[in-house]
Amino acid sequence: MGLFLDVGYVSLNKKGEELCGDKVEIIRNGEEMTIVLADGLGSGVKANILATLTSKILCMLAANKIPLEECVNTIIGTLPVCKVRGVAYSTFTLLHINTAGVGYLVEFDNPLSFLLSEGKYYDFDRKLHIIQDKNIYITNIKLKAEDSVIFMSDGAVHAGIGMYMNFGWERKDIIDSIERAYEPKMSPRCLASIIGDNCRLLYDNQPGDDTTIVAIKVREEVAINIMVGAPIDKEDDERIVKAFLDSSAKKIVCGGTTSQIVARYLNEAVETDYNYISRDIPPIGMIKGIDLTTEGVLTLGKLLEIIKKYLDISNVDVKKFSDKDGASLLANILFEEATHVKFFVGRSINNAHAGLPIDTAMKLKLVEKIAENLKSLGKEVTIEYC
């Protein structure tokens, strides 16, 4: 297993604004990733345009290894000039990194980023560069597995000004809060949402500025195999189950018939777990040697509902799934733990669904939508139909 670059972020719009003046752009190119957080001058439409132009142009140039000074010159020459203030202005933070944890960090007028290693704060050894009369800080970095880089727009450090704090939520206090909340298996999306949720509370749900938190984590790869549905040809059962089991990946089985096929191959029984009862989601099962066993279509449908909230960057609810129903357990493994996911999708017709508004096409669509959402988070996803 190698290393995987995982990223997550959340954004709060300034009160009364439909558009966020912050923008995050991410480009993955093989084993490299470039990510830019830009904060446009002011708020609303103009700020959104400035931030969007800055993030997209800068991210594209950096991903293509254009020299930094040329990148900055291009940004300065491209941004529209504010008629009132006479400046074309968007602050930014840029991180370019590969799966070995080697890269560089560039900071211009955003709050200073920080490193979280084993739950402890470390600062960067920044070098000041003057480019077009602007102070640009550049850091060469080397991260190890499970290290996280966190950066943010200035809405985070302004949180609480004039309400709960005289000078806002200072950087040292932000760092202290995340150190206290940190748990080793937290995803970057969870780390970002913890800080974002605190900002929301300090703003009393009425943000005085656009606020964005970005977290990047260098993770050990976590592979997941998930089998959904029985093969269309019963003679393929053994071959598909063997392929499903034949790796060090975590194993998930979805569906009653599917679980029976897997259990029969393993010469084990399927036991139902009634310790957690939900009105909406069937109980999970247990098969020795399988990490999670759930019902099929109904559980996957509920998982999609959970996904909508998880992917909403304006939803800063902390991304941890504490419930023990099948959909929540699935969400936790697929979205918080997994880096690589392989679906084994059976296309057989389930006679138990006769007369019900459930068919094979629905199951396939659910799996494809889940796969699309996993890919949108940068996870490696493959689907094998059988």
Q: Please give the pLDDT value at position 86.
A: 57
Position 13 confidence tier, pLDDT thresholds 50, 70, 90 = very high
Percent share of the chain, pLDDT over 70: 92
Q: Please give the pLDDT value at position 133.
A: 80
DSSP track, 294-331: E-SHHHHHHHHHHHHHHH-TT--S-------SHHHHHH
Q: How many helices (H) and strands (E) does the chain have?
A: 10, 18
pLDDT 10s digits, 160-193? 886 666 667 899 999 999 999 999 889 999 999 9
pLDDT 10s digits, 340-378? 999 999 988 665 554 554 567 888 899 999 999 999 989
CATH of domain 3-220: 3.60.40.10
Mean pLDDT of the region 15-42: 94
C-alpha separations of 161 from 39, 167, 206, 207, 316 in Å = 19, 6, 12, 10, 20
**Domain edges within the chain:** 3-220, 223-385
pLDDT 10s digits, 230-264? 998 888 899 999 999 998 999 999 999 999 999 99
| The pLDDT of residue 3 is above 60 | yes
pTM: 0.90
Residue 114 near residue 152 (C-beta atoms within 8 A): no
Position 88 confidence tier, pLDDT thresholds 50, 70, 90 = low
Q: Please give the pLDDT value at position 164.
A: 63
| The pLDDT of residue 82 is above 90 | no
Nearest CA among 200, 217, 218 for reference residue 209 = 200
